[in-house]
Amino acid sequence: MNIGPVAVTGHAALAPMAGAADAAFRAMTRRFGAAYTVSEMASARALVYQPTRTSELLIPAPGEAPFAVQIFGSEPEIMAEGARLALAMSGAQVVDINMGCPTPKIVANGDGCALMRDPEKARRIIEAVVKAVPVPVTVKFRLGWDEDDRNAASFARMAQDAGAQAVCVHGRTRAQMYAGKADWDALARVREAVTIPFIANGDVKSAEDAQTLYRKTGCDLVMIGRAALGNPWIFAEVEAKMSGLPAPAAPTAEERLRTARAQIALACERKGEHIAVLEARKHLAWYLKGVRQSAAYRARFAEVKTAAEIDALIEEFLERRPDLDYGA
């Protein structure tokens, strides 16, 4: 598929995830076949008023392309300026606007999913950003604010009219936050409302799910969030499935931990060891999910303070259990 002139080759994108899908993790997903990646969301206001603090969020991993920077905010002029700055800092191929974030702090400011309740303002924002940057602009949002106000189809049409070159829709309402099930039938109806490329998102947990979501919605790309955490191999599985190839072998415990280690090394380079190691605790727990007999180690990984401690613990785990395969 294409987003404007930007070719996206492959079948699954990594969803933007603030505090989880940083450049180091995204690099691992690219290694295993993620076709498209998006930055963590950055505040347009912060970009305009405190650019140095925000720039780290927006800089892609080496070779990470096609890549989108995602910004949020609700003032058209600040969003336009934020988009220009985000693009200059990142060299991204696409600018994505967040109109789906459900977090109370964000929506209380009129940002994120709050914009779904003010489509006229959303239109002004999209138009301003489209005018401000020379790259394609996309919009990510939800099915609506709540069950009584599922306006994703008209919102998608509005975004298309305002100049968006693709839309990405998460099949939940704001009221659902991350609970309940994503409604893929509703996504199919949103898909029909626009002619621009449509990216479908929500609850893809396996290659089979990705294939079903393609079939159900006629989407151009599937986007995977939580199921990719600690599991970048899901992208290889989706590629194989969509190409009619046999499923690749599941990663062994050793592959999982070596990949986690490579990710943490990259994170240390970018953020410094202190922050990278604190954040590594949750990534290690995700990588160990489903690895047999790892519970005791998970508890120990949750307390690591240095990269050297992580290395030592990984080596200890692998030495004790050289025969371990990934499994229930």
- Which single residue is written with the structure tokens 């974030």? 101
Of 101, 26, 80, 88, residue with least CA distance to 54 = 88
The smaller minimum CB distance to ligand FMN, of residues 81 and 209, is found at: 209
Tell me if residue 113 is catalytic. Answer: no
Q: Minimum CB separation from ligand FMN for residue 72, in Å?
A: 8
DSSP-based three-state secondary structure for 130: helix
Which of 5, 19, 134, 322 touches ligand FMN by CB under 6 A? 19
The smaller minimum CB distance to ligand FMN, of residues 196 and 324, is found at: 196
- Phi first, then psi, for residue 69 (nearest 5°) are -95, 140
Annotated catalytic residue within 101, 113, 219, 268: 101
Q: What is the dihedral of CA 236, 239, 244, 247, to 10 degrees?
A: 10
Does position 197 interact with ligand FMN (CB under 6 A)? The reply is no
Q: Minimum CB separation from ligand FMN for residue 204, in Å?
A: 5
The smaller minimum CB distance to ligand FMN, of residues 199 and 253, is found at: 199
Quick one: which segment of 17-25, 52-60, 191-199, 270-278 binds ligand FMN (CB under 6 A)?
17-25
The smaller minimum CB distance to ligand FMN, of residues 70 and 165, is found at: 70
Subset of residues 36 to 75 that bind ligand FMN, contact rule: CB under 6 A: 40-41, 70
Which of 15, 86, 200, 310 touches ligand FMN by CB under 6 A? 15
254-279 in b/e burial notation, b at 16+ Cβ within 10 A?
bebbebbbebbebbbeebebeebbeb
DSSP H/E element including 224: strand 221-224
Residues 201-240, one symbol each (x = binds ligand FMN by CB under 6 A, - = not), give xxxx-------------------xxxx-------------
Subset of residues 84 to 143 that bind ligand FMN, contact rule: CB under 6 A: 98, 100-101, 140
Compute CA 165 distance to the chain's CA centroid, rounded to the nearest angstrom. Answer: 18
Give me the numbers of helices (H) and strands (E) for the chain, helices first please: 14, 10
What are the residues binding ligand FMN (CB under 6 A)? 15-20, 40-41, 70, 98, 100-101, 140, 170, 201-204, 224-227
Cite the active site residues. Answer: 101
